[in-house]
């Protein structure tokens, strides 16, 4: 790692506060040491000079990604994690949660142990694990393998958390299933984010789970009971909450633009988190790929099982940003919040990630005004 570098030009946008125009950002050993508006670096310094209209955002944090470029977290190999880590820097991601899928216990344990034994990655930093399944509802399985679904089990979770070296940061569960309340409470007690997903809960179930410690909703609208005028379901329960944050796959395939706008109006940028939910075929074009032992066909922007069910996405985070800009007319401040700040806040990383300020990690995503990646900077360096 280079000792001291400087980043000059562009405009910094955080979730809050005024933009910092034409900044000089001083990075020392991977940490932001100083930010000034204007100014010049010392003569002979190592400087990354940006274009005047570049947009500088806190590095994107993808808290829900299964795979990319032929690799999947469930491959449980260092090569797979490295491939995912390196490839997603191209879309502005600087940190991510390695996301599992419903599978036999042995397969989940191999994936957890691989993350636990990982000594870091060359690209985006792996911040831990998002355990998606197996504690979900078969009625809302989506592309999750039904045969491996289990009722929520706090004891099993605690075993897996110990096995992972406390790397599980989020667990997607169906709290309405037997054992659900106990698991939500166990997650909250251990500092893990409970996220309702692949759930057939009622809105009343959502309220009860939130009282038990539920904090997130996994890919809002997808894999959950929808909003109906006689039963508001998971979607309605999340929207009625004042505090639950929700993931959103903004590819215009999983969620229509109008439905996404409803979510944006109901939850606002303060409670939405853009994710990819990407699978191993991302970045490889059309073809046939594996997801949890199931055949997935990718055509264009859609990844589907043989039965037609959506099976993850091939979305990139920068495309999600462009969609948010056009669909919501979201400000750059709101983009910073939905791609990074909200995630960092939930993960307890406020002050180090999700923000561009003195003392924070020098994880930056530099975009053009039209929303295309120009530079991804991790710890002050381009991977």
Whether 311 has a binding-site annotation, put simply, is yes
3-class state of residue 16 by DSSP: coil
3-class state of residue 311 by DSSP: coil
Burial class (CB in 10 A: 0-12, 13-18, 19+), 306: exposed
**Cβ proximity of 214 and 206 under 8 Å:** yes
Q: Is 334 a catalytic residue?
A: no
User: What tokens were used for 375?
Assistant: 């530079």
Whether 143 has a binding-site annotation, put simply, is yes
| 266-293 as b/e: b if 16+ CB within 10 A | bbebebbbbbbbbbbbbbeeeeebebbe
Closest CA to 352 of 24, 125, 112: 125
Catalytic site residue from 72, 212, 277, 318: 277
Whether 64 has a binding-site annotation, put simply, is no
The whole-angstrom separation of Cα 231 and Cα 203 is 7
Q: What does the DSSP assignment read for 45-89?
A: --EEEPPTT-EEEEPEEEEEE-EETTEEGGG-SHHHHHHHHHHGG
Whether 148 has a binding-site annotation, put simply, is no
**Cβ proximity of 212 and 187 under 8 Å:** no
Whether 380 has a binding-site annotation, put simply, is no
Q: At what angle do helices 180-189 and 154-163 cross, to 10 degrees?
A: 40
Whether 223 has a binding-site annotation, put simply, is yes
User: What tokens were used for 300?
Assistant: 């264009």
* Beta-ladder partners of 71: 68
**Cβ proximity of 128 and 169 under 8 Å:** yes
Closest CA to 241 of 196, 274, 199, 275: 196
**Cβ proximity of 25 and 59 under 8 Å:** no
Whether 81 has a binding-site annotation, put simply, is no
Closest CA to 380 of 20, 18, 35: 35
Residue ranges for the known binding site for substrate are 143, 222-223, 230, 254, 310-312
Residue ranges for the known binding site for Zn(2+) are 132, 198, 219
| Residues recognised as catalytic | 277
């Amino acid at each position: 790692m280079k000792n001291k570098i400087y980043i000059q030009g562009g405009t910094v946008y955080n979730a809050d506060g005024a933009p910092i125009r034409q900044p000089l950002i001083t990075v020392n050993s991977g940490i932001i040491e100083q930010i000034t508006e204007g100014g010049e670096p010392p003569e002979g310094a190592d400087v990354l000079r940006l274009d005047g209209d570049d947009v500088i955002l806190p590095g994107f944090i993808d808290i829900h990604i299964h795979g990319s470029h032929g690799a999947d977290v469930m491959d449980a190999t260092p090569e797979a994690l490295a491939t995912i880590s390196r490839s997603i820097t191209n879309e502005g991601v600087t940190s991510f949660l390695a996301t599992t899928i419903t599978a036999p216990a042995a397969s989940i344990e191999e994936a957890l142990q691989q993350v636990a034994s990982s000594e870091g990655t060359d690209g985006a930093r792996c911040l831990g694990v998002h355990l998606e399944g197996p504690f979900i509802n078969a009625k809302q399985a989506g592309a999750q393998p039904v045969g491996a679904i289990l009722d929520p089990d706090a004891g099993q979770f605690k075993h897996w958390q110990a096995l992972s070296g406390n790397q599980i940061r989020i667990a997607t569960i169906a709290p309405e299933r037997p054992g659900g309340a106990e698991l939500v409470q166990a997650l909250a007690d251990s500092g893990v984010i409970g996220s309702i997903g692949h759930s057939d809960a009622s809105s009343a179930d959502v309220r009860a789970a939130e009282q038990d410690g539920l904090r997130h909703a996994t890919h809002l609208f997808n894999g959950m009971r929808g909003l109906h005028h006689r039963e508001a379901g998971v979607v309605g329960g999340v929207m009625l909450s004042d505090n639950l944050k929700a993931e959103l796959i903004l590819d215009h395939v999983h969620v229509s633009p109008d439905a996404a706008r409803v979510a944006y109006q109901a939850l606002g940028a303060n409670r939405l988190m853009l994710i990819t939910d990407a699978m191993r075929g991302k970045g490889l074009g059309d073809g046939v790929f594996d997801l949890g032992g199931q055949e997935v066909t990718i055509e264009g922007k859609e990844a589907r099982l043989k039965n037609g069910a959506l099976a993850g996405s091939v979305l990139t985070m920068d495309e999600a940003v462009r969609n948010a800009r056009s669909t919501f007319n979201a400000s750059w401040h709101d983009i910073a919040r939905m791609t990074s700040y909200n995630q960092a806040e939930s993960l307890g990383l406020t002050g180090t990630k999700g923000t561009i300020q003195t003392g924070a990690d020098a994880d930056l995503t530099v975009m053009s005004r039209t929303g295309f990646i120009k530079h991804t900077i991790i710890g002050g360096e381009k991977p």
